[in-house]
Amino acid sequence: MEEGAEERGGGGSSTDGGGGANVSLSPPTLSPSIPPFVKLGLTVVYTVFYSLLFAFVYAQLWLVLRYRHKRFSYQTAFLFLCLLWAALRAVLFSFYFRDCVTANTLGPFTFWLLYCCPVCLQFFTLSLMNLYCAQVKRWIGRKVPLYLVFVGISLLFLLVNLVCALLVKTSDMQVKTIVLVRVTINDTLFVLCAVSLSVCLYKVAKMSLASIYLESKVRPRLLKQTLLL
């Protein structure tokens, strides 16, 4: 009887061992990569930063109107682009306080407006800076073609981002392929505009202050824009 009891005890221990093996083979519970308090802190910091930037740029635009500066200029266009960019970023980060699910399940146009449009505004700002530096360098003979080139590139950038955002939300194509195409085109255009801006800034830096002053006599508002830059 003792032997039978030992056999029964051994069988029970083997069963427990099998249960322990099953428990050990079960996948562990994954914890969030970022703790919730860190995520909340970063959300607060970014939202406050973009809100302060929006208020600062809005005040600058109000001062332009208050002191009756030129309303349609490179300065006002740059400030208006920055104002839109800060507003869209502040709205996007405000979703992450309590409604993260809504921020990740937006409609096609809202998705493009909050996620893709700020990138387009950054590219438009870079193109605007290229045009301004080209004007300071006095490339007057090619001014109209230069405007057309940058307007065409900006429209291409906008169209690519809009189409890709719509395809991600409405088509059955692989998201990875769409994102790869969009990132490739965006990065290529950004690099080309950045190189162009670097060349313009290098040539402007080599110009003497006397030549800039003489050119400003031909264009009286050019010196004011140069000092503001």
pLDDT band (50, 70, 90) for residue 27: low
> Domain boundary at 103, 136, 152, which?
103
- Packing angle of the helix pair 117-136, 220-228 (nearest 10 deg): 130
Q: Is 84 in the same domain as 115?
A: no
Domain that holds residue 98: 32-103
pLDDT band (50, 70, 90) for residue 146: confident
Domain count, the chain: 2
Q: Is 41 in the same domain as 116?
A: no
Position 11 in a domain: no
Closest alpha carbon to 156 in 118, 199, 190: 190
Q: Is 188 in the same domain as 229?
A: yes
Question: For the ranges 65-69, 107-111, 204-208, which has the lowest average pLDDT?
Answer: 204-208
d(C-alpha 50, C-alpha 55), whole Å: 9
122 in Cβ contact with 157 (< 8 Å): no
Q: Is 152 in the same domain as 133?
A: yes
> Domain boundary at 71, 103, 135, which?
103
**pLDDT, position 34:** 66
Position 154 in a domain: yes
For 176-203, what is each residue's pLDDT tens digit?
898 899 999 999 999 999 998 998 888 8
120 in Cβ contact with 161 (< 8 Å): yes
**pLDDT, position 14:** 45
**pLDDT, position 15:** 45
Q: Is 200 in the same domain as 133?
A: yes
Q: Is 201 in the same domain as 147?
A: yes
Q: What is the mean pLDDT of the chain?
A: 77
**pLDDT, position 26:** 53
Q: Is 140 in the same domain as 197?
A: yes
> Domain boundary at 103, 119, 138, which?
103
pTM of the model: 0.72
Task: Work out whether the CA dihedral 172, 176, 179, 184 comes out positive or negative.
Answer: negative
Closest alpha carbon to 43 in 86, 91, 81: 91
**pLDDT, position 180:** 92
**pLDDT, position 1:** 42
Q: Say if residue 136 is exposed, middle or buried (CB neighbours under 10 Å; 0-12, 13-18, 19+).
A: buried
138 vs 48, more confident = 48
**pLDDT, position 29:** 55
